Amino acid sequence: MIISQLIIQYDISQQDQDAFLINVAGRQRMLSQRIAKRTLYLQNEVNDKKHHESSLKKLQILVEEFEKTHHTLQFGKYPHRLKGKFSPAIDSLFDKTIPFFQVIKKICLQIIQSPSKGNIDNAVKILEANELSFLSNMEALLNALVADSQQKLNRLKWIELSLALVAFLVLLMEFFFIISPLIKNLSLTNHSLQASNSFLAEINQELKAIFDSTHVAIMRLDLKGQFVHFNKGAEKMLGYRAEEVIGKHTPALIHLQEEIEVYNQALSKSLNKHLDGFEALRYEARLPISPPRQWTYLRKDGSTLPVQLSTSSIKDEQGNLIGYLGVATDISELMQARISLLESKQNLEILANKLARQNEQLLSFAHITSHNLRSPVSNLNSLLFLYHDSQDEAEKQLLFSKFEIVIGHLTETLNELIETLKIQEDTEIKRDTIVFEELFSKIRETFAGTLLETKAEVSTDFSGLPQISYPKTYLESIFLNLFSNALKYRSPDRILLIEIKTHKAAGKEILRIRDNGLGIDLNKHGEKIFGLRKTFHQHAEAKGIGLFITKTQIEAMGGKIEIESQVDIGTTFTIVFNETT
């Protein structure tokens, strides 16, 4: 009898501690919700200093209480409680809450220490990602504690009934000393459990309200993959009502089939086994740590949106898999921001290239201006000095005639420089679709007499790039200059051969003109080859203008020109029309 009474007293003590821990667990859930709400208040009050400071203090109090409650849950009502006091299942459920508790505590302390808007915004996102899992695990822990307590209560009732049957007479005599206090304690315990159950129901209602108030889509699936929960956020995001999908559809309704197939193939290859349908998603959800993954969702109206999906498995207190949870966030704005950032980067690169090219042209123009104007101006100064110093009228007339010659050369040089500036500035000149064969027919007719006279042989191949979008006047000028140079500087020792070919390589539009003429010593003249008034052969018509104008026109349109040449072998000009465009 004494042993039985001791067992009963022990069970009552356990019931009292269980009720206490159930209340503490319920309070811990409530505290996590209050913390989440307080961070949202902080996010909305970031510009209200007075309320912001008040909310920070309240958050600090909540976090301290949150930590104390967690400590109480871990060690029970008494400090000597150690892990293993409860069943392994309850200890396991408690252990699952620890990582989320630590994340919530850590992010709240970061807000308190540095309450910047960026930290608060980041904290809200992290809390949204972790609070749901924390609440779900706390719910499972509460259910396990209630079930464990109920088990103990049932055992206690069974012991009481057994003792009543075995020792009815003895208990009748001792009723006022033992049974009455026991009944009183049981009544108090039952009342405590009822209060806990009522509190749990209230928490569940709050949890549902939170699920439905968030903008993220929260979807729960059963083991068959069918929807069993579809919150308001999912309804707003995807356009379906909960009753349209729950118990009727799987995630195949909202996923792009081609994305699932591609992911299944990749995962099947990685695991070396075949996966069908949504087995890949279920595989990820079963992992201890499932990283968020980007998917494209399909709305009811047929439109699509990019989302970031986090998946996890749902288990009961025994650790048995009972379903899957998916939390999806619309990242349309984030994707658009990335696109805008890439476009801005590309525009900046184009602008930087254009600026670098213009700086290079400016330096080149400054050098050309200095080089080509210094000599005529110096010559004019010398003639002017001689003119003023001369006493002979005939000599003055001679000097004056030389004035006219030098001024004529200077005017011609200035006109050429002005033309160069016009080319460099006119980057928005109209482009036409030009067929190379048609354009070259016109060029060939222009030089028909020279071609007959020199018996030059010309071969063309425009099959690789039949046409191009380019300013017609520029392209005609380029062909005229390069083709006339090939004719002008031909070798007297052999028949002139000219090869013209266009093609496209790696997105670049290329023209190549090759001849077997006199050639140029690039070691000697390479740096001056495209300079203004630079000539490298004795020829009556040589002015050193053509190649300079050609290079200026090509670079003004975002292209480049290169030369390969050997003396007495020939020259090849290669033009890339769209080097920087």
**Partners of residue 298 on adjacent β-strands:** 304
Residue 280's nearest CA partner among 299, 295, 301 is: 295
554, two tokens: 């090509």
Question: Which residues lie across from 460 on neighbouring strands?
Answer: 500
**In 144-176, which positions are buried (b, 16+ CB within 10 angstroms) versus exposed (e)?**
bbbebbeebbeebeeebeebeeeeeeebeeeee
| Angle between helices 436-446 and 472-488 in degrees, nearest 10 | 50
- The domain spans of the chain are 2-213, 217-330, 337-412, 432-576
Q: Which two tokens stand for residue 69?
A: 């409650």
Helix or strand (DSSP H, E) at 308: strand 304-315
- Residue 457 has a pLDDT of 94
Question: Per the CATH hierarchy, to which homologous superfamily does domain 217-330 belong?
Answer: PAS domain (3.30.450.20)
Please report the pLDDT score of residue 527 as a whole number: 59
- Sign of the C-alpha dihedral, residues 97, 250, 207, 103? positive
Q: How many helices (H) and strands (E) does the chain have?
A: 17, 12
Domains 217-330 and 432-576 share a fold: no
Rounded CA separation 137/447 (Å): 89
In order along its 581 residues, the chain shows pLDDT tens digits of: 565 555 656 566 666 677 777 888 888 888 888 888 888 877 787 677 777 788 888 888 988 888 888 888 777 654 444 444 567 878 787 788 888 888 888 888 888 888 887 888 888 888 877 877 888 878 887 788 788 778 777 777 777 677 667 666 766 666 666 766 767 777 777 777 777 777 767 776 666 666 566 778 888 888 888 898 898 888 889 899 989 989 988 888 888 888 888 888 877 887 788 777 667 777 776 776 677 888 899 899 989 999 988 888 888 888 888 888 888 888 888 888 888 888 888 878 777 766 665 665 554 455 445 444 544 565 566 667 777 877 788 877 887 776 666 676 567 556 655 555 555 555 557 788 999 999 999 888 888 888 888 899 999 999 999 999 998 888 988 998 889 888 988 899 999 999 999 999 999 999 999 999 988 877 765 456 665 444 444 444 444 466 888 888 888 888 998 989 888 899 999 999 987 66
Q: How far apart, in Å, are the Cα atoms of 194 and each of 11, 86, 200, 205?
A: 18, 21, 10, 17
> Is domain 432-576 classified as CATH 3.30.1180.20?
no
User: Please, are residues 233 and 216 in contact by the beta-carbon 8 Å criterion?
Assistant: yes
